Amino acid sequence: MEKIKVAVLVSGGGTNLGALIAAERDGIIRSGTISLVISNKVGAYALERARVAGIEAITVTKAECGSQEAFENRLIEELRSHGIELIVLAGFMSILSERFTSLFRDRIINVHPSLIPSFCGKGFYGLRVHEAALEYGVKVTGATVHYVNEIPDGGKIIMQKSVEIREGDTPEILQKRVMQEAEWIILPEACEKVSKILLGKRGMKD
Ligand code: GAR
């Protein structure tokens, strides 16, 4: 069966990448296939996860490229030469420019560890999101998968899942629960959903 070629962009531990790999193995992701992993951080553990799964994994850093523009040009080159049709940002801690996002309109999705529009946008990433949720005192948080456009965390929402905050939660405990109960579930589901949509579009063109 024809599948959409998916690239996963990472910066860190890659537990979301792990969930995507498992979901493809288990048939939750059927319309897409993870073909490339790109890290913008040297030595990110996510790269190791990709290698173990037999997925091509490369590192492209802004420092080595010299500027945001050159960095994005390298990404575009790699994505194009691998025939990538869908880009999944899974803990990718670099904001992409409008030039980049408009080149791949409706073909980039991101997982964010809160219920957007709460605790999102510039400066809200990783543990910081959970610190802010606990500081504010919300009783429910969660995760969101959305399309990526020029506004950080501002693209159309694809899926959300809520997670209860418990007495005694620390940012670390909450981060883990949001991953387990929300991110690792909705990211693979959204990846399948969007891959299926893109397969449909491919059909229309043929
Ligand atoms: C995840 O919680 C992801 O939602 C978050 O970083 C973590 C990466 O973990 N992303 C953002 O905050 C983006 N704004 P992982 O590397 O183990 O998947």
How does pLDDT run across 12-35, given as a tens digit for each residue? 999 999 999 999 999 999 999 999
Nearest atom in ligand 1 to the alpha carbon of residue 120 is: 14
Q: Which of the residues in the chain have pLDDT under 50?
A: none
Q: Is the peptide bond before 117 cis (omega within 30 degrees of 0)?
A: yes
CA distance 70 to 141: 37
DSSP 114: S
CATH class of residue range 4-205: alpha beta
> Which residues make beta-bridge pairs with 163?
141
CA distance linking residue 38 with residue 33, whole number of Å? 15
146 noted as active-site residue: no
pLDDT of residue 206: 53
Give the domain ranges of the chain.
4-205
What is the predicted pLDDT for the residue at 139? 98
> Which atom, in ligand 1's list, is nearest to the CA of 126?
12
**Distance from chain centroid for Cα 169:** 25
Q: Name all residues whose Cβ lies below 6 A of ligand 1.
A: 10, 12-16, 46, 90-91, 111-113, 125-126, 129, 179, 183
Looking at residue 5, what is its pLDDT? 98
* CA-wise closest residue to 145 among 103, 173, 185: 185
Q: What gap in Å lies between CA 202 and CA 204, rounded to an integer?
A: 5
Helix axis angle for 127-136 and 171-178, nearest 10°, is 110
Q: Output the CA 93–ligand 1 centroid distance in Å.
A: 8
**Alpha carbon nearest to ligand 1 atom 7, residue:** 91
Buried b (16+ CB within 10 A) or exposed e, 127-153: eebbbbbbeeeeeebbbbbbbbbeebb
Predicted local distance difference test score (pLDDT) of residue 205? 65
Instruction: Quickly tell me which residue has 């962009």 as its tokens.
Output: 9
Distance from residue 126's CA to the centre of ligand 1 (Å): 5
